[in-house]
């Protein structure tokens, strides 16, 4: 099975909050990442969290990490149409300094005006 799992689709109304969830399997992961991919474009690093943290906030983005359950979530406050994209969760399974990121299949976020 996949090392990193995400639900494939999420639809929200403009102005609402979006919550994208991810589960991972490697308990030694040191960093966990959220990337955004707009249609036809490459991946843009949105934010990351170190495994000894349980929350990180960055403007409209809030990352929550439950290390016991290996569950990661990305909350986008006041979702805008420009947030429509595919969001990938990724883990760094070999710890600090690793390079071989493992990605989920991505969650496609659709924002309804």
Partner 1 sequence: NAGVMQNPRHLVRRRGQEARLRCSPMKGHSHVYWYRQLPEEGLKFMVYLQKENIIDESGMPKERFSAEFPKEGPSILRIQQVVRGDSAAYFCASSPPGRERGEQYFGPGTRLTVT
Q: Closest distance between partner 1 and the C-beta of residue 38, in Å?
A: 10
**Alpha-carbon distance 79 to 75, whole Å?**
9
For partner 1, give the closer residue by CB, 4 or 111.
4
Q: Closest distance between partner 1 and the C-beta of residue 79, in Å?
A: 22
36: Cβ–Cβ under 8 A, 6 or more apart, which residues?
43, 44, 46, 85, 86, 87, 88
Q: Binding to partner 1 (CB under 8 A): which residues in 81-110?
A: 88, 92, 96-106
HSE of 49, CA atoms in CB hemisphere, 13 A:
22
Q: Closest distance between partner 1 and the C-beta of residue 19, in Å?
A: 19
Site string for partner 1, 44-83 (x = CB under 8 A): xx--x-----------------------------------
Distance set, CA 65 to CA 14, 21, 81, 82 (Å): 25, 10, 26, 25
Task: Say whether residue 43 binds partner 1 (CB under 8 A).
Answer: yes
Residue 101 near residue 31, CB atoms below 8 Å: no
Residues that bind partner 1 (CB under 8 A): 2, 4, 30-31, 33, 35, 40-45, 48, 88, 92, 96-106
């Amino acid at each position: 099975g996949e090392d990193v799992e995400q639900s494939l689709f999420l639809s929200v109304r403009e102005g609402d909050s979006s919550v994208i969830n991810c589960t991972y399997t490697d308990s030694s992961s040191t960093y966990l990442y959220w990337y955004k991919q707009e249609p036809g474009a490459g991946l843009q690093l949105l934010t990351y969290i170190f495994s000894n943290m349980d929350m990180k906030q960055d403007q409209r983005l809030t990352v929550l990490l439950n290390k016991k359950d290996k569950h990661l979530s990305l909350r986008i406050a006041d979702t805008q149409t420009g947030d429509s994209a595919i969001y990938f969760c990724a883990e760094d399974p070999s710890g600090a300094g690793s390079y071989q990121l493992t990605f989920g299949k991505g969650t496609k976020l659709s924002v309804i005006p």
